[in-house]
Structures are given as C-alpha cells and as structure tokens.
Amino acid sequence: MVYEVFRQERKGQPFQHAGAVTAPNREFAEAYAREQYGRRGESVALWVVPRDAVLEIDDFVDELERNYHRVDGYPLKEKLKEARERAGRAASRDR
Amino acid sequence: MSREQSFLEYVQGGGQVETGDWMPDEYRAKLIKFIEMHGNSELMGVLPEREWILRAPTLQRKLALTAKVQDEVGHAQLIYRVVEDLGKPREACLDDLVSGKAKFHNVFHYPTKTWGDVGVIAWLVDAAAIISQKALLKCSYAPYARIMKKICWEESFHILHGRDVVLTMMNGTDEQRELVQEAVTRWWGPLMHFHGNPIPAEEDPMLVWRIKSQGNEGARQQFLDGYVPQIWELGLTVPDPKLRKNEDGVWEYTEPDWDELRTVVTGHGPKTAERLDLRRLAREHSAWVREVVLAEAA
Amino acid sequence: MSERAELLLEIADDELILGWRNSEWTGIAPFLEEDVAFSSIAQNEIGHARALYQLVAEELGTTADELAFDRSPHEYRCSRFVQLQLVADWARTIARHVLYEEADEQRIAALKASDDQDVAGLAAKIDREEVYHRLHAQMWHERLANEPRYIEALGELRPLVSERGEPTPDFAQLWEEMTMVRRSVPGATW
C-alpha cells in the first residue's frame, strides 16, 4: 500500500505533501515515514495517510463570470475619479 | 495545432506537468527512461561505497558514510516512486536493472580501491552529480522537480564530508596524500565522462522538453570551473596536460573517449557484472520478505 | 580497569559490533524503505557505542576511536551472538534484532538506576532512542510471527544471547575489515 506523507517544516507552517512510502500497514508506514522525512530533523510533524483516503479535486467550474465575490469584480478607479472631482467642484462652489 | 505541439509550447513556456495530466507518449517514455536511470544510479552507487562503511577508520567517519549511503538509498526510493506513478512499477525497474537491460551512470561501474577513493568520490563525483541534479530543479515534470529539492538538500553534507575526508588526509602523512592523489588520477577519466558527450541544445530532447535546464557541456564546464581550482590548490594534479581555462573563460581539455563511455554504460564496465550479481543475489535471498510484507491483497 | 569501565566496555562492544553487522545491510536490505529505517538503527547503535566509549576513554585516558578500533580481537567483550555474520538472511537478522532489544532493555534499565550521574544520564538518552528500535523489532516480530524460517531463527539464536567468551571466526573476519584502513597507516588522523 502507498501512504502519502505530508510534512510540517516548522510550527506555524502549513503541512505540505512531501512524498510517499510503500508499507503493509500503519505501523510500518509510521516507521518508514519517520525515517524518510524526519531522520535529519527536517520536519517537526508529519501526517501519514493511505493514498486511497486522499480525495483529489482538480476541476472547478466558473461558466458565468462570478466575479461578484472576488476582488477583480470591483474596478473602482473610474468611479473614484468621478467622485473626487465632484467633491472638488462642490468645495469650490461652497467658498 | 496538435495536442503534442501545444504541450511542447506549454512546457517550453515554463508550464508544469502533474502526474494525472495528459502528456505525449514520447515525453512520458523519455521521462521514465531518464528518471529510472537516475534511480538505478543511486542504487548502484551504494555498492562501491558500502564496502567502506565497514572499513571506516573512525567512528565519526563510519557514521557519516553510513548516513551518506542511507541518503542514496532514500533517494532511490523517492525516484522509483516517481517512476511508478508514471506507469512503471518499482519491481519492473529492479528487474530491468539486474538483468542488465536498464542503464546506470558510468562512475558506478568502476572499482573503489582505497580510503582515498571514499574522499574523492564524496568530494568530486558527488559534486558532478549535484550539478546535474540542480539542472533538474526546474523540470517540467513537477513531481520529479519536487523530489530533486529534497535530494539536493540532503546531498549538501555529502560534499562537505568528502572534503573533510580529503583535507584530513592531505594534512596527514605522505602515504595518505599519496592515496588521495592516486584516487584523483584514477577517477579523472570517469569524471570527465560523467556529464555525457556534448549535444547541441536543439537536438537534446532533455532540453527541448524542459526536463533538464542545462546541457551536458554546460554541466561539465561548471564542474571544471568549480572543482579544478579546489584540486589544484591542494597541490594535487589532474592527469590531463591540456587542462586549462582559456581567455574566454572556457575550460579546454583532452577530448574524452566517448566510445569508452558507451561501452561502460551498456554494461561492460570493470565492476558491472559483479555489482549486478550482488544486487541480483540480495534480491533473490530477500524475495520471501517482500512477499510476506508487501504482497497486497487485490 | 574499574568495574564500571568493564561493564560499559561490554555494552559498547555489543553496540559497536551489532551496529557494524546491521550496517552490512545498508544498500541491500529487502526493500528500500526498510533499508533506510534499518540503517538508522545501525547508526544509532554505533552512536551509542561512541558515547559509551567516550565515558570509558575519559577514565582510561584514551579516546573512543582507540577503544573502538585499536584493541586486539581478544580484548573485545561483545557477546558471541552479535558477532555472527547474518547477511543475506533477513529472518536471522530480525531474530537477532528482536532478541537483542529484549535483553538490552533490561540492561539499560539497570544503568538508568545507576548512582553514577554520567552513566545514568547517558543510559536515559540511549533508552529514548531505543524506544524506536523496540517498536521496529516488535513490528517485524508480529509480521513474521507465522514464518517458519523466522520461528526457527529465534529458536536457534535465543540460547546464544548471553554467551561471551573467545571471539568467533566470524569476528576475526569482521575485525580484519574493520581495522584495515587504520592499520594501513598507524597513528594517522583520518
């Protein structure tokens, strides 16, 4: 069985995929992951997961331009320019 | 535009490929062959060095050399995993290795004769290898690029260990200095062969597919530039009277015999048969272990 | 030599020679993941030997390397069982590993209780590393529990665990190889 190994380099860092080991069960997988990804003190923590348990999703749909909930849906440059100019004219009118 | 053509443009533009992505058959085949040879080399490289683990003359050297060889076995594990995910199982790679069908790097076909070799291999052969490995850090095939990062990081102590062994001997007795010189003289030929014969960039599939980011001659020049000064500054000589850096900063040298390289990597080096036999025997003796431990239920 | 030195040398020699034997598997173990793991065990054993030799070396006015390498075969105090050449027999190798860890656990426990601070301190450190050796041994013991060749190997090796005495012929071969580079240029620094 293939076990995927995720490692955390330092506390506070995200766990990242580091590789995989072949092992018959959890015990062996633990021993082997510990050695391959931790014998040099290069990781503070590991997550070891059977490959089958990892669900990969790599297709995402966005057919109808859903930029209403993203930063690129808000081009404000023109509106801001117009608003500043109007405020500037209002100020000079009031004097 | 064909799918192959757009793939080629994609990788040439710096695009990265993951395991599940579509890739041309030729790209996959070239990758498997190249990466498999790398894995084979790590595994075969272990054999000349492990004899010296047993003969290491101090506890520190024994520990360092065992750790170095352990790293190389670990690298083989990482590399064969990549090949497996590309479609060729580890056992098939090992079958092809021991049967002589698959290749491994020239340097591992030669004997090691003294403790001088231990120092020179870790210092110079590993240096040559690291140059090649750094050229793989930007491999278009991402899983391979990622393991190269770990491999390069682990190799960093190998060179220091090698230098330490060599420097200690150079500061020691005349006999020790002679061991180092003799080893440098003997390993020079294989080192010059190591990076392979020069190939024009546009004819090198490894460069075209962005598997490697440096050609053979570039790697060799980089090796000479970095390491010949290190060799000369210790008062050691290299057995090539033509070796010099010219006014354009290019290293000139006696053209290696490329036929010899081809003969060696096709399985006719001085130690090829013996080492493959050792691998084959070890594998046969432990087949029952793999069956008991790794035989998977469906 | 004090009783303390004698005891520590015995343990150091066991760890050195077993570590040496286990390191023979580096590069040719049954499969790659195990090769890496077993190599760490061998390195730890040599590391333990080194630390133990250092304690004795302080008392005797010598160095760890001189104790490890510069004695004649008859001066080593390792048990006969760690001297055995067992490559390429994995069943016997694991049997020895399991039996050794079992016996060693008790020995270390005794050292941890020593009045001698240095000894007790070192024993505690060694014990913490040995936890992983024991897990590894147990893991293999369970996996091979029904393998006839393993059961046979355990039976064959168990009586030899505490035997000490004249060096075995296997040891003579080991000693030759272990000391050949040092003997080639006596007194040199490597």
Q: Is residue A68 part of a domain?
A: no
Average pLDDT, integer, range B83-108 = 93
Q: How many domains does chain B have?
A: 1
pLDDT score for A95: 62
Kindly state the average pLDDT of the residues A31-54.
95
Task: Give the CATH number for residue B52.
Answer: 1.20.1260.10
Give residue B111's domain range. 3-266
Q: How many CA atoms lie within 13 A of C143 on its CB side?
A: 25
Phi first, then psi, for residue B169 (nearest 5°) are: -70, -40
Looking at CATH, the fold of the domain delimited by C3-184 is given as Ferritin (1.20.1260)
Residue A13 lies in a domain: yes
Q: Which residue of B has its CA nearest to C184?
A: B175
Of B92, B53, A94, the residue nearest C27 (C-alpha): B53
Statement: residue A71 has pLDDT above 90: no
| Nearest-angstrom CA–CA distance, B167 and B93 | 38
Segment among A56-70, C39-53, C153-167, C173-187 with least mean pLDDT: A56-70
Residues from chain A contacting residue C47 (CB–CB below 8 Å):
none
Domain count, chain A: 1
| Contact of B131 with B219, CB cutoff 8 Å | yes
Q: Do C31 and B289 touch (CB under 8 A)?
A: yes
β-bridge mates for residue B252, sequence order: B244
The interface predicted TM-score of the complex, written ipTM, equals 0.95
The predicted structure's pLDDT at residue B156:
86
CATH number of the domain to which A30 belongs: 3.10.20
Question: What pLDDT sits at residue B191?
Answer: 97
What are the backbone angles phi and psi of residue B71, rounded to the nearest 5°? -60, -45
Q: How far apart (Å, rounded) are the C-alpha atoms in residues B113 and B185?
A: 12
Residue A7 in any domain: the answer is yes
User: Residue A67 falls within a domain, yes or no?
Assistant: no
Question: Considering the domain boundaries, does residue A34 fall inside one?
Answer: yes
Q: What is the mean pLDDT of residues A43-55?
A: 96
pLDDT, tens digit, 9 for 90 and up, residues C5-64: 999 999 999 999 999 999 999 999 999 999 999 999 999 999 999 999 999 999 999 999
Residue B279 lies in a domain: no
Terminal-to-terminal C-alpha distance of chain C: 28
Q: Which residues are within 8 A (CB) of C21 and not within 5 positions of it... i.e. 6 or more apart?
A: C82, C83, C84, C85, C86, C87, C174
CA B192-B195-B201 angle, to 5 degrees, is 130
- Buried-exposed string B168-206: b where 16+ CB fall within 10 A, e elsewhere: bbbebeeebbebbbebbebbbbbbbbbbbeeeeeeebeb
Chains with 3 or more CB pairs under 8 A to chain A: B, C
Domain ranges of chain C: 3-184
B51 in a domain, yes or no? yes
Residue B17 included in any domain: yes
Residue A94 lies in a domain: no
Q: Of the candidates B58, B76, B294, which has its C-beta nearest C190's C-beta?
A: B58
To the question of pTM greater than 0.90 for the whole model, the response is yes
Interface check A13 vs B, CB under 8 A: no
